[in-house]
């Protein structure tokens, strides 16, 4: 039998992706780069080479109609030369292609009906437009399905703010079995140069950066903190001598629901400690952990979210600790804001852009870059709620809330009177805490 050609001639960037792929691969690609063709050929190559019984490979897009429009017609086009030879069987109703020689299946699914993928054993999957996929589709359904035979996953898409795609892309650098790469419109040479220049001219700068330069930090106009500002904060270091006179402030955000996290966060001036993140912990156990942190670090103030933390607050006071409850929905100090939560998050933003240093923690960075804001009918600044953020498929920003709590009220160091005569009085020292300047 003569070799059958599938008419795939990869460009240089596609060849690189095929060669460098690991078990989990995340590719950030600009619009019209050719990512769907690359993905389909990865599926076909894997299915045709598979040497175990009943192999299954999936292509998943955010919506089934989208998957059919983008991938199903392209997949059928690629295998068309094999149909006359009986090498493949196309099933329109099941949206599947069967490789006859080894009985492998390639199937098309939509992320809008994730339950259709439950209970299967997967050997490989392509997840397209990952930014629009709900995190639980990957975490709760697809990832377990890959475990039986150590299946692989290829994530492809164009950046669109902070979501599952950005989380996986930046996480990939931390693990040996993950690989990530980014290809801009200037890397792939997929589009005519004159058309690229027209797009740059006619599109908004942030839109072009996001869609064609694959810039994860290209914030929307309503994003409170850009990812670039957050990443900059994670790269800074603050010498101990520059914060030694700033107040130590502890922020505590108790979990509201079972999937939320309880977080304890310490800040001193422009520097922060690594957050303590606790899951599945009750109020009494959380209070005990907070008490331990108070005994160890002797903070000048402890601010706790009153919404879910009343039991924690009561217990700490029973133990003799001085803590301050903060109502996120309460009245702000500054009348420009709708409530306290909007005020303290804006204080946090100003602190971060003014030189604040945060741990290089992916969960924290995602939390800080997640919320959007807007002006309500009364002209006051309102922050996107936790529930609204979760509806966008992002986790509740519990770590960010804990850090924001450290900006709840002005704090004077308990030792300020003792050190007042010897304390440096430079502008740099005043800048270490947005409230410390009011006490010097």
DSSP class of residue 385 equals: P
pLDDT-derived band of residue 171, with 50, 70 and 90 as boundaries? Answer: confident
Distances (CA, A) of 231 to 352, 356, 382: 10, 11, 24
Residues 171 and 287 in one domain: no
Q: Is residue 3 part of a domain?
A: no
Mean pLDDT of the chain: 89
pLDDT confidence of residue 436: 44
Residues 238 and 193 in one domain: no
Domain that holds residue 396: 227-439
pLDDT-derived band of residue 425, with 50, 70 and 90 as boundaries? Answer: very low
* Model pLDDT for residues 317-326, shown as the tens digit of each residue: 999 999 999 9
Mean pLDDT of 330-347: 97
CATH of the domain at 30: 3.40.50.300
405 within 8 A of 305, measured Cβ to Cβ: yes
Residues 186 and 78 in one domain: yes
Residue 415 has pLDDT above 90, yes or no: no
pLDDT confidence of residue 109: 96
pLDDT confidence of residue 258: 63
pLDDT confidence of residue 395: 78
User: End-to-end distance of the chain based on CA atoms, in angstroms?
Assistant: 87
pLDDT confidence of residue 422: 44
Residues 21 and 119 in one domain: yes
* Model pLDDT for residues 121-170, shown as the tens digit of each residue: 999 999 999 988 988 899 899 999 999 999 999 999 998 877 789 889 98
| Strand ranges for 258-372 from DSSP E | 262-268, 271-272, 276-278, 301-305, 324-326
Mean pLDDT of 363-367: 88
Residues 27 and 161 in one domain: yes
287: phi then psi, degrees, rounded to nearest 5: -60, -40
* Model pLDDT for residues 223-262, shown as the tens digit of each residue: 899 887 898 899 999 999 999 999 999 999 998 766 678 9
pLDDT confidence of residue 162: 72
Residues 97 and 25 in one domain: yes
Mean pLDDT of 205-214: 90
Picking from 160, 140, 138, the residue whose alpha carbon sits closest to that of residue 211 is 160
pLDDT-derived band of residue 423, with 50, 70 and 90 as boundaries? Answer: very low
Picking from 7, 24, 19, 8, the residue whose alpha carbon sits closest to that of residue 156 is 24
Return d(Cα 30, Cα 182) in angstroms, integer.
9
Q: Is residue 99 part of a domain?
A: yes
Q: Is residue 219 part of a domain?
A: no
DSSP class of residue 244 equals: T
Residues 19 and 100 in one domain: yes
Q: Is residue 218 part of a domain?
A: no
**Domain tally for the chain?**
2
* Model pLDDT for residues 1-59, shown as the tens digit of each residue: 567 778 889 999 999 999 999 999 999 999 999 999 999 999 999 999 999 999 999 99
* Model pLDDT for residues 72-85, shown as the tens digit of each residue: 999 999 999 999 99
Percent of the chain topping pLDDT 70: 92
69 within 8 A of 63, measured Cβ to Cβ: no
pLDDT-derived band of residue 308, with 50, 70 and 90 as boundaries? Answer: confident
pLDDT confidence of residue 438: 37
Mean pLDDT of 331-347: 97
pLDDT confidence of residue 334: 96
Q: Is residue 2 part of a domain?
A: no
Q: Is residue 326 part of a domain?
A: yes
Residues 133 and 260 in one domain: no
CATH of the domain at 363: 3.30.420.240
**Which of 211, 241, 265 is where one domain is finished?**
211
Residues 32 and 158 in one domain: yes
**Which of 176, 211, 246 is where one domain is finished?**
211
Q: Is residue 222 part of a domain?
A: no
Q: Is residue 280 part of a domain?
A: yes
* Model pLDDT for residues 367-380, shown as the tens digit of each residue: 998 899 999 999 99
Residues 188 and 261 in one domain: no
390: phi then psi, degrees, rounded to nearest 5: -65, -30
Residue 164 or residue 63, greater confidence: 63
Residues 206 and 107 in one domain: yes
pLDDT-derived band of residue 311, with 50, 70 and 90 as boundaries? Answer: very high
**Which of 156, 182, 211 is where one domain is finished?**
211
Residues 135 and 247 in one domain: no
pLDDT confidence of residue 227: 80
Mean pLDDT of 193-199: 96
Percent of the chain topping pLDDT 90: 72
405 within 8 A of 265, measured Cβ to Cβ: yes
């Amino acid at each position: 039998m003569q070799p059958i050609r599938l008419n795939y001639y990869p460009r240089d960037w596609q060849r690189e992706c095929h060669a460098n792929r690991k078990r989990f691969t995340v590719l950030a690609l600009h619009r019209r780069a050719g990512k769907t063709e690359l993905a389909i050929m990865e599926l076909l190559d894997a299915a045709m080479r598979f040497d175990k019984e009943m192999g299954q490979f999936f292509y998943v897009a955010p919506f089934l109609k989208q998957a059919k429009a983008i991938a199903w017609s392209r997949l059928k086009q690629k295998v068309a030369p094999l149909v006359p030879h009986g090498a493949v069987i196309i099933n329109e109703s099941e949206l599947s292609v069967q490789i006859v020689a080894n009985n492998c299946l390639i199937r098309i699914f939509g992320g809008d009906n994730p339950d259709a993928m439950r209970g299967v054993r997967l050997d490989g999957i392509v997840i397209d437009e990952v930014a629009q996929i709900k995190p639980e589709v990957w975490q709760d359904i697809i990832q377990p399905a890959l475990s039986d035979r150590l299946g692989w996953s290829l994530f492809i898409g164009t950046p669109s703010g902070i979501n599952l795609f950005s989380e996986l892309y930046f996480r990939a650098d931390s693990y040996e079995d993950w690989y990530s790469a980014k290809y801009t419109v200037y890397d792939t040479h997929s589009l005519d140069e004159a058309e690229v220049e027209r797009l740059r001219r006619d599109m908004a700068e942030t839109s072009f950066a996001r869609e064609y330069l694959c810039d994860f930090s290209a914030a929307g106009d309503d994003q409170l903190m850009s990812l670039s500002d957050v990443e900059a904060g994670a790269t800074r270091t603050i010498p101990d001598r520059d914060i030694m006179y700033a107040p130590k402030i502890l922020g505590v955000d108790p979990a509201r629901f079972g999937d939320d996290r309880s977080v304890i966060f310490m800040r001193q001036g422009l520097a922060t400690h690594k957050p303590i993140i606790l899951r599945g912990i009750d109020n009494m156990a959380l209070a005990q952990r907070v008490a331990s942190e108070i005994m160890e670090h002797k903070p000048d103030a402890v601010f706790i979210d009153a919404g879910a933390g009343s039991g924690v607050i009561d217990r700490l006071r029973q133990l003799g600790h001085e803590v301050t409850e903060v109502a996120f929905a309460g009245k702000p100090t500054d009348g420009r804001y709708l409530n306290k939560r909007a005020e303290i998050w804006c204080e946090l933003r100003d602190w971060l852009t003014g030189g604040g240093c945060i741990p290089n923690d992916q969960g924290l960075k995602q939390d800080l870059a997640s919320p959007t804001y807007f002006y309500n009918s009364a002209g006051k600044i309102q922050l996107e709620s936790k529930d609204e953020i979760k509806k966008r498929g992002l986790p509740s920003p519990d770590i960010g809330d804990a850090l924001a709590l450290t900006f709840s009220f002005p704090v004077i160091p308990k030792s300020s009177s003792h050190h007042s005569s010897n304390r440096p009085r430079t502008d740099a020292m005043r800048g270490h805490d947005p409230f410390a300047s009011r006490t010097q």
